Structure 1
Amino acid sequence: MNTQRAVQGLGAVEVECLLVFNDANRDAIELLKTHVAPMQAEASQSCPKLHLRVEYLNEFFEAAYPDIKSLLGQGRYRSVIFNLDQCGHSHVERNTILDIMHSYPAAEIFYTFVISSLLAFLQKDQPERLRAQLDHLGLTSNDIQALDALMSQKDWLGTAEKIVFDAFRLCAPYVSPFSINNPGGWRYWLIHFANAYRARQVYNNILHDNASLQAHFGRSGLNMLSYDPKHDEGMLYLFDISGRVSAKNQLLGDIPRLIMECGDAMPVMDFYESIYNITPAHADDVHAAIIENPDLEVITPAGGERRKANTIGVDDVIKMKKQISFFPMFLNAGTRGGPKE
């Protein structure tokens, strides 16, 4: 960061960072200390502007969380990232996720779990909703064990994403429901919670920089979860080049449709906040689909028109042009208005 600031002619900033490691296994923590200590010593020598404090805890996460929260409070940290890599599904309570997201202005959580554990929980907690979600696969909520044979099917991935999103969507403004990619069976999920669109925008871009590590099945433009396996033909989106081509093609129709539904004009900030929970697309593809669209224009605060995708700013406004070409406004109605309930 300071290297970039130096290039821009700006002064260096002091960075204070608290790094908390926690594991229920004491041997794991002791081994971790031997690896972290030399890196911490090197960082103190090579990065004098970085003030790094490292704490180690040896508890199950729910037991450790009050201490972690206390440490964060003492340091008045406003930007936090939690990496919660758990076995199964039950080691991190939903209320704890909510508390993290509500306690800090800039909070992100990376959260891993086994899908079968989540399904077992939902089977007890929300049996009727789970039954409806599994119905098109020919299963009832009592057939969880039979799912193992279906987990390599793309229809299963699309269904599981909806189940995951439905289970966690109220935990944060932005929730990515993407699976860890494994064509042999989509059983493990790594989802990202954020309370700012910019965090989700960056996360989407990172997924594309590491193509094929996560997977999505459904639409690749806006309203990614509106795919209905009973009526639509979805596609596997692996955040790779071919996926980006498909996403851009869909965005060319989806974005003007959204702008038209919002009264023919929309501030870019509002646009970002409305789309980044419903799209897997890369920011560059979103911007290109706006600039290259014959029906849209981007107007600057001074009244000028943007000509290049990489110059779009949050203070700009996206508008429908006065003279527009015909595009299928009312086709694929299922793609409008977000995921179906």
Structure 2
Amino acid sequence: MAEKRYKWADGAELEGHSHRKHKILREYVFDYLTVRCKLPQQERFRLAIIDGFSGGGRYKCGAVGSPLIFMEELKRAVQGLGTIEVECLLIFNDENRDAIELLKTNVAPLEAEIAQTCPKLHVRVEYLNQLFEAAYPKIKDFLNQGRYRNVLFNLDQYGDRHVERKTILDIMHSYLSAEIFYTFMISSLLAFLQKDQPEQLQARLNHLNVTSTDIEALDGVMMSNNDWLGAAEKLVFDAFRLCAPYVSPFSINNPGGWRYWLIHFANAYRARQVYNNILHDNASLQAHFGRSGLNMLSYDPRHDGMLYLFDDEGRASAKDQLLDDIPHLVTESGDAISVREFYENIYNITPAHANDINAAIIENPDLEVITPAGGERRKPNTIGAGDFIKMKEQRSFFPMFLNAGTKGT
């Protein structure tokens, strides 16, 4: 499938999938700052935001693009943070010279407005005009010179091969608090996934380290659009799951068909928790085909799995599965697990909302939540990372030994 490039000099059209991605990105950036700046002793927060495929900043219809979204949300968030000073390095890169020149024109008024009206926000803007992989060493130089630990990359590429997997690995391993929003085109794989040509498919996916074993696992599952979505999601997730502790492979729910994933990479469970919650606040903007509880990709696409749209119906399904899944996970640890460890274990394997997870813990007859002081939590919204989830002594059905069978006589 030929890639469609934006023509910024003539006025770029805002497509439906971009509008949906921008809404998620806008809300996430605001929540990111709100969550990261909660410590009462905190006086200063430093971060860098890198837009690797920035575009011109404003579309033909007048809607703003991701660079201006970042700046607008930085300003809005900082105005609600009280006395905290926020320093942000913004690096905008695009290979298109017209896009960068237009972006400079669109950024300048907002940059001046921030300087005049938001004294607690200090922004520095750098522009690059290269292919992203060529620009990445310079981007690293900027980040290392400024000793930035909190970095957020927006890699809204055209297609699926303009950002190397090794670059994603390098970003996530180089910065303690790194996150990436990474666009990956589904439709460019569609023709290959629906053909009985495993060698051609593997060659097409070499840049993702997909093996012949991975290709063989797809055999016989391409029976419907949902089967294809589930198989493709698992294939891409398996290709990227070792790039970061937390990887979300959810696809953009576009009326014209499944065309893109907006993949989120993070090093901390809290980032994935916030991202899951935002997807539920924007029900049906993204989708996942598979289980809705824990182990979201542990299913046979030929026999089970459902389309999960992060809506009320999806949340009800997730809660039913969580009531069963969570005790199993706790039992696998013995009979207790800290809430922090529990969150660290689950947030790469669930699309569920944090409120539904906590509610499933409290409502489960086999579980109890114990505070560090020995008390018991009775409401979902009171559960803290320092608490412990414990199996009750009187259990309704969980065995002492998970794999115990009937002993012969």
Closer/same/farther in 2, CA of residues 29 and 68 from structure 1, 3 Å limit:
same
- Residue matched to 2:202: 123
Deviation at 1:133, TM superposition (A): 3.0
Closer/same/farther in 2, CA of residues 127 and 169 from structure 1, 3 Å limit:
closer
Q: Of 124, 136, 139, which residue of structure 1 is paired with 2:220?
A: 136
What is the SS of the residue equivalent to 2:217? Answer: helix
- Residue matched to 1:22: 93
- Give the letter aligned to residue 202 of structure 1: V
- Residue matched to 1:144: none
Q: Does 1:226 align with 2:298?
A: yes
Closer/same/farther in 2, CA of residues 156 and 61 from structure 1, 3 Å limit:
same
Q: Does 1:197 align with 2:269?
A: yes
Whole-angstrom CA distance in 1 between matches of 2:124 and 2:369:
45
- Residue matched to 1:237: 308
- Residue matched to 2:379: 308
Alignment of 1:54-73 (within 5 A): 54-73=125-144
Closer/same/farther in 2, CA of residues 283 and 328 from structure 1, 3 Å limit:
farther
- Residue matched to 1:278: 349
- Residue matched to 1:251: 322
- Residue matched to 2:16: none
Deviation at 1:19, TM superposition (A): 0.6
Whole-angstrom CA distance in 2 between matches of 1:252 and 1:99:
37
- Residue matched to 1:153: 225
- Please identify, of 45-54 and 312-321, the stretch whose mean Cα deviation from structure 2 is larger: 45-54
Deviation at 1:185, TM superposition (A): 2.9
- Residue matched to 1:174: 246
Whole-angstrom CA distance in 2 between matches of 1:162 and 1:12:
45
Deviation at 1:117, TM superposition (A): 4.3
What is the SS of the residue equivalent to 2:219? Answer: helix
What is the SS of the residue equivalent to 2:384? Answer: coil
- Residue matched to 2:281: 209
- Give the letter aligned to residue 131 of structure 1: I
Closer/same/farther in 2, CA of residues 263 and 5 from structure 1, 3 Å limit:
closer
Deviation at 1:317, TM superposition (A): 0.5
Alignment of 1:18-97 (within 5 A): 18-97=89-168
Whole-angstrom CA distance in 2 between matches of 1:9 and 1:54:
28
- Please identify, of 185-194 and 115-124, the stretch whose mean Cα deviation from structure 2 is larger: 115-124
Q: Deviations over 1:304-323 (max 9, x none)?
A: 00111111111110000111
Whole-angstrom CA distance in 1 between matches of 2:372 and 2:266:
28
Deviation at 1:41, TM superposition (A): 1.2
- Residue matched to 1:143: none
Q: Contact 2:250–2:263 at 8 Å: present in 1 too? A: yes
Closer/same/farther in 2, CA of residues 194 and 122 from structure 1, 3 Å limit:
farther
Whole-angstrom CA distance in 1 between matches of 2:149 and 2:216:
40
- Residue matched to 1:146: none
Q: Contact 2:201–2:215 at 8 Å: present in 1 too? A: no
Deviation at 1:134, TM superposition (A): 2.3
What is the SS of the residue equivalent to 1:83? Answer: strand
Deviation at 1:166, TM superposition (A): 0.9
Deviation at 1:205, TM superposition (A): 0.7
What is the SS of the residue equivalent to 1:245? Answer: helix
Q: Contact 2:371–2:377 at 8 Å: present in 1 too? A: yes
Closer/same/farther in 2, CA of residues 316 and 63 from structure 1, 3 Å limit:
same
- Please identify, of 264-273 and 186-195, the stretch whose mean Cα deviation from structure 2 is larger: 186-195
- Give the letter aligned to residue 99 of structure 1: D
Q: Contact 1:136–1:229 at 8 Å: present in 2 too? A: no
- Give the letter aligned to residue 356 of structure 2: D
Q: Contact 1:158–1:217 at 8 Å: present in 2 too? A: yes
Whole-angstrom CA distance in 1 between matches of 2:213 and 2:41:
56
Q: Deviations over 1:200-236 (max 9, x none)?
A: 1111111111111111011000000011023x32111
Deviation at 1:251, TM superposition (A): 0.3
Q: Contact 2:187–2:258 at 8 Å: present in 1 too? A: no
Deviation at 1:90, TM superposition (A): 1.4
Whole-angstrom CA distance in 2 between matches of 1:268 and 1:72:
33
Identity across aligned pairs (percent)?
A: 75
What TM-score, normalized to structure 2? 0.73
Deviation at 1:46, TM superposition (A): 2.1
Whole-angstrom CA distance in 2 between matches of 1:129 and 1:183:
33
- Give the letter aligned to residue 136 of structure 1: G
